[in-house]
Structure 1
Amino acid sequence: MRIGEPDHARTSRARAAAGWGLRFAADWLSHITSSSLGERDRRRTLGNPEGKSIIERLVAFHDEEHQYRYVIVEAPFPVTDDISTRRVHAVTGDPTAGQVQWSGRFIPTGASEDEVVALFSGIHGGGLVALRTAFS
């Protein structure tokens, strides 16, 4: 399953690029209360307000393209084989602006496809709103 169209947020390209890395989620996501790195910065453990952990592993990182891809290793989500990508694109005609794209694909388990699409659309969409607010 893949979430239909990738979610986007437009903001200052420099600010978006500054906050796009794996390290910074707790700085701009209100539903993430902690973030720590391990495995030479390739594994991230996030904490949420309910005390549950989300463990992600970086699988691709392209600094020049402002893009990274990660998989969820462990999380309280009803999915398997989750892989997500975040990238910052330049906005044509405005060299100071950037557009953040966050997309993912997964296999639902224990929930309907529609329920899981709604869950991740909310996470990605809410995260992009928070990113735009934090870096605009």
Structure 2
Amino acid sequence: MVGKLLLRGMLVGLVAGILAFAFARVYGEPQVDKAIAFEEQQAQAAGEAPEPEMVSRVTQAGIGLATGVLVYGAALGGLFSLVFAYAYGRLGSLGPRSTSALLALLGFLAVIVVPSLKYPANPPAVGNPETIAYRTELFF
């Protein structure tokens, strides 16, 4: 039972990953390209040498993005299905839909809302780059 539920959760996570990849390619990547162009323009105006590209933007925006969102989607779907398998029947008389909706809401609050309110994103070219490690530690 749990194995089938885990497999289904991971498959649904893959489908969500495909949708997230399509959305990121259409709406996210053009904005990232604009931000990179802005940062390069600012660095050039300041007389700084361009930084070497360790991984090309084509790779980052293509196979790198796809790999990231698909693996993340499958992992999140699998984890959700395992938490559901544990919680179902232990939350009173909630049915499967109510249990999954409650778990999704709690997960959204814990993973997205609370960290975003506590540690908002630092836009490119605005913050102090020396604090990146500190902010990352705080977030985790």
Report the TM range for the smaller structure's normalisation.
under 0.3
Structure with bigger helix share is: 2
TM-score under structure 1 normalisation?
Answer: 0.25
More relative contact order in 1 or in 2 (CA 8 Å, sep 6+)?
Answer: 2
TM-score under structure 2 normalisation?
Answer: 0.25
